[in-house]
């Protein structure tokens, strides 16, 4: 694994083969995100999409207590005006905008913006001790990183309303049962499983993987017939790529395919 430049803003970025890992590295503060860290996450996400060799991303937090406690509340008064707060670099927006498939390894609590950050990824795995909450209502506001939309689409309207309107945490067993996460793992196995899954995705044709991700996101807001038509158009685009031709040739020749992202 190749380390990249150190970050004073407590965000680590590494690349191993075709998989990039972004680590929120402020465990003493439950990996709560400062404005400087938000900028680092934005930069890391842009770097992932700009590098064709990066085909999957793993997002996690340092330590075992927390994935991310959301924005550092103590820093929120540093914005001079509400408009400056509104137009800030948003770390959830950056993760949600990734073209590259992203896996979140939730290694502890995911509260507020941390929950939104996890929801902004395509796949969520969690350690058995993880907990999830939308606690903003306890402080007088609501989430602003896609909380209600993403949570409703993940766990349904009633479950989402219970979390948003009470601010109370749910444990990992309920998170799995409601579909908030895909898998639960012992804490010592979480990151290895996330990287295993990322490596599997990275081994697939990158254009098809990015297209599949785009199609999944679009399907949220489209009626059935429009969604099927859009999917068929994207399928046709993929079918015309060199990678698809390679996949067909490898199938006929009974050999492993070599995908190059073209």
> What are the tens digits of pLDDT across the range 37-76?
999 999 999 999 999 999 999 999 999 899 999 887 666 6
Which pLDDT score, from 0 to 100, does residue 80 have?
67
Which pLDDT score, from 0 to 100, does residue 147 have?
93
The CATH number of 2-202 is 3.90.226.10
Confidence of residue 79 (pLDDT cuts 50, 70, 90): low
Confidence check: pLDDT of 5 > 90: no
Confidence of residue 9 (pLDDT cuts 50, 70, 90): low
Q: How far apart are the first and last CA of the chain?
A: 26
Which pLDDT score, from 0 to 100, does residue 189 have?
97
- Residue that the structure tokens 């540093």 belong to: 78
Confidence check: pLDDT of 21 > 80: yes
Nearest to 182 by CA among 108, 128, 125: 125
Domain ranges of the chain: 2-202, 206-253
Q: What angle do CA 111, 117, 118 make, to 5 degrees?
A: 80
Which pLDDT score, from 0 to 100, does residue 193 have?
98
Percent of the chain with pLDDT over 70: 92
Active site members: 116, 136
Least confident stretch, 71-80, 135-144, 154-163, 216-225? 71-80
Model pTM score = 0.89
**2-202 and 206-253 have identical folds:** no
Pick the CATH number of 206-253 from 3.90.1200, 1.10.8, 1.10.12, 1.10.3720: 1.10.12
Which pLDDT score, from 0 to 100, does residue 71 have?
83
Nearest to 113 by CA among 149, 72, 79: 72
Of residues 46 and 141, the one with the higher pLDDT is 46
Which pLDDT score, from 0 to 100, does residue 54 have?
97
**Burial class of 47 by CB neighbour count within 10 A (0 to 12, 13 to 18, 19+):** middle
Confidence of residue 145 (pLDDT cuts 50, 70, 90): confident
> What are the tens digits of pLDDT across the range 214-245?
999 888 889 999 999 999 999 999 989 999 89
């Amino acid at each position: 694994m190749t380390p990249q430049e150190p970050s004073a803003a407590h965000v680590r970025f590494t690349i191993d083969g075709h998989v990039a890992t972004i680590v929120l590295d402020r465990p003493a503060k439950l990996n709560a995100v400062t404005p400087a860290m938000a900028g680092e996450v934005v930069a890391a996400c842009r770097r992932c999409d700009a590098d064709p060799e990066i085909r999957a991303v793993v997002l996690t937090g340092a330590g075992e207590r927390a994935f991310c406690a959301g924005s550092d509340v103590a820093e929120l008064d540093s914005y001079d005006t509400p408009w400056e707060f509104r137009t800030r670099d948003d770390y959830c927006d950056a993760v949600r905008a990734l073209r590259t498939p992203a896996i979140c390894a939730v290694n502890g609590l995911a509260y507020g913006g941390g929950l939104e950050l996890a929801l902004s990824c395509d796949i969520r795995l969690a350690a058995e001790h993880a907990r999830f909450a939308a606690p903003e209502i306890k402080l007088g506001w609501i989430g602003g990183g896609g909380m209600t939309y993403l949570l409703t689409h993940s766990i349904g309207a009633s479950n989402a309303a219970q979390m948003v309107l009470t601010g109370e945490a749910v444990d990992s067993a309920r998170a799995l049962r409601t579909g908030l996460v895909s898998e639960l793992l012992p804490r010592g196995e979480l990151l290895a499983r996330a990287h295993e899954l990322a490596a599997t995705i990275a081994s697939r044709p990158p254009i098809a993987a990015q297209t599949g991700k785009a199609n999944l996101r679009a399907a949220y807001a489209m009626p059935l017939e429009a969604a099927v038509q859009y999917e068929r158009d994207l399928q046709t685009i993929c079918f015309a790529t060199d990678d698809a031709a390679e996949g067909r040739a490898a199938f006929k020749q009974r050999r492993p395919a070599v995908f190059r992202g073209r």
